[in-house]
Chain A
Amino acid sequence: MPILEAVWLALSSIRAQKLKSFFSLVGVLIGVTFLIAVVSIVQGMNVYMTSKFADAIGGINTFQVQTRPNMTFGNVTDEMWKEWQRRPRITTEDAAYIEDKMETPAHFSRESETSIGVAYRGKSATGIDLEAVDAAFFDIKHWNVADGRAFVPQEVQAGAPVVVIGNDLADGLFPVGVQPVGKTIDVGGIPYRVIGVVEKQGTLFGISLDKFAVIPITSPARRLIDRPHVIQDLQIQTENPAQMAQAVDEVTTLMRVRRGLKPSDGNNFDIGTAQDALDQWGKISKILFLALPGLVGISLVVGGIVIMNIMLMSVVERTREIGIRKALGARRQDILAQFVVESTVLSLTGAGAGILTGLALAFAVRAWTPLPAAVAPWSIGMAVGLGLLVGIVAGVYPAQQAAKLDPIIALGHE
């Protein structure tokens, strides 16, 4: 019997038993929904991480020299923690040394940051990210100052009490119609003059990227963050991504020389790159992808068992039909094909519905939560493939039962 014939037959038999068919394909539907939704969300995160997130933390040609990794995932042992605690802090002198000795062309900015309260005429904002930095920081972050201006190296040299604020902070602190530039605000109890507002950065995972205040690293509020000379990190931006590896090597060597490390010693400082953060995400997504086959697999196995049972019932119910078909000339393989195709069509229908609900779920997540979602075409292909596989595997045994029926018994003759 031609395959199209069998598919048509399967569809009409599924149509004839809608409710039963629906229950029999629920397992496959759930499995495929999982697959599509999780893959879409993880894939969305991947796109998000490599574009927006990496950009938000400085782009792919930026790295920091810091005491210890600022983002960790996985196994951090007590020993590692203790070793990190013992490490010397990065100092302004370290920064000056690197800036002085480094040959790869780059931009530099010291950075110390903390969370602080900011106020203007009795109106206050807390949890503001206070960044004490050098003038190059704006370039490194690709921050454009929408109103006013960024501070200049001379202001950093002088330790001028000037501040450039984020868009949300400006909106929160100043009433509508009041121009922030030129106003004096209170940063941790110290008066600062607002000289610029950075253009809106948007959100990352639902968290505002516009609640910050940037001050020269030499200015008075700096003492609220770190002891004199101590900085949290030195931001270094090469002119293009191709120079990253070379620059990282060079900075590592300079730091080791400056700290007098023996070849056998490990680094007692850390080089942080956007790539690190992406690697961390890579680990998370790998774990999700490892857990995924389990979830999907269990649903599909259950779905397969349900389909097999429904097909076995169907073979019993349709014994007479099988007898008629055999009497009229159906060979074993015709009956086999009929039932395998039927269970495959059933399973594929489940997979198709699962793809739709999975996509709906992924888009719902994208619409109503800060999590992104991007559909991976391979996951749809995989869903169809798995549906096909489950249908065939679940259909073979019942189909064999049908195919080996004796036509005389099946027809109800003696």
Chain B
Amino acid sequence: MSDIIIQLTGITRDYVMGSEVVRALRGVDLSIRRNEYVAIMGPSGSGKSTMMNMLGCLDTPTGGSYWLNGNEVSTMRDDDLARVRNREIGFVFQTFNLLPRASALANVELPLVYAGTSARERRRRAEHALQRVGLGARMDHRPNELSGGQRQRVAIARALVNEPSILLADEPTGNLDSTTSEEIMRLFGGLHAQGQTVILVTHEPDIAAHAHRVVVLRDGVVDSDRPNPPRAESAAA
């Protein structure tokens, strides 16, 4: 298996808005290796969100090719993309996106439901994932019984439960206070240290500073792509 887990070549994405064509991505080339910790930055309108959707296989490019973990996903259809999302991608959203009526455990089990995992195995793996994020004691709580930081931990456990190729976090601390944000970023650092490929999409330099590589988008192309000296806590965790 190649060390390159993501290979984007000449990715373009156009949106038709009425009579106008909006060119959100204008030819992005990017490759990410296994166990990299990458932050994708850019001001609003830079194509950052489109990039996030593209990497997360929620959207397909107008042009160019996207290889993810040895599969070309740029030409896939809906249901195949759903399977790729299920197996390869762990999403962490700014708004957590937990199901409000389901317990933490049930939320974490959800990707495994769509993977067709047996109920017993689901429970075992979901419990393990919740323990990994330090929420072993709150598995039966519903999202509204948890703090913001705890909710995001549930979301991270859910993202990890399928052992995805990439952990894709979209403004993961956008709804959290600074102390909690630090906790969450430490958690990401720890997961990276355990071998997880982590991609952060953010506009906050403080958050991006946790990554080991920062890619900046501007006007739909890669404006800069440079390494970032690792911070102490991620190595320690």
Contacts and interface: CB of A to CB of B under 8 A. Distances in A.
Do these two chains really belong together in a complex?
A: yes
A5 B113 contact: yes
Given A329-B114, A408-B59, 20 more contacts: A2-B116, A5-B113, A13-B101, A16-B101, A326-B85, A327-B97, A328-B91, A328-B110, A328-B158, A329-B82, A329-B87, A329-B115, A330-B114, A331-B78, A332-B78, A407-B58, A408-B58, A411-B93, A411-B97, A413-B49
B79 interface: yes
Nearest to A321: B99
A90 to B, nearest CB: 79
Interface in A296-347: 320-321, 323-334
Interface string A1-17: 11001000000110010
A265 interface: no
Contacts of A12: 101
B37 to A, nearest CB: 22
Contacts of A327: 56, 58, 85, 91, 97
A414 interface: yes
6 contacts: A5-B113, A329-B115, A331-B83, A332-B78, A407-B58, A412-B95
B53 interface: yes
Nearest to B111: A328
B79 A332 contact: yes
Contacts of A331: 78-79, 82-83, 114
Between B78, B113, B115, the greatest number of chain A beta carbons within 10 A of the residue's beta carbon is seen for B113
Interface of B: 49-50, 52-53, 56, 58-59, 78-79, 82-83, 85-87, 91, 93, 95, 97-99, 101, 110-111, 113-116, 158, 162
Contacts of A321: 99
Contacts of B101: 12-13, 16
Contacts of A408: 53, 58-59
Nearest to A330: B114
Best-surrounded residue of A12, A13, A329, A333 (most CB of chain B within 10 A): A329
A398 B87 CA distance: 28
**8 shortest interchain CB distances as A-B pairs:** A329-B86, A329-B114, A331-B82, A331-B79, A328-B111, A324-B97, A329-B85, A408-B58
A412 B56 CA distance: 15
A330 B82 CA distance: 6
A325 B79 CA distance: 13
Contact of B114 (A323, A334, A412): A334
A324 B99 contact: yes
Contacts of A413: 49, 52-53, 58
Contact of B83 (A323, A324, A329, A407): A329
Interface of A: 1-2, 5, 12-13, 16, 320-321, 323-334, 407-408, 411-414
Contacts of B91: 327-328
A332 B114 CA distance: 11
Given A329-B83, A329-B85, A331-B82, A1 B53 contact: no
Contacts of B158: 328
B61 to A, nearest CB: 14
Contacts of A412: 95
Contacts of B95: 412
Nearest to B84: A329
A75 to B, nearest CB: 62
A5 B53 CA distance: 29
A323 B115 CA distance: 17
B82 A326 contact: yes
Contacts of B83: 329, 331
A331 B91 CA distance: 16
Contacts of B56: 327
Contacts of A2: 116
A5 B115 CA distance: 13
Nearest to A335: B82
A266 to B, nearest CB: 74
Nearest to A414: B49
Contacts of A324: 97-99, 110
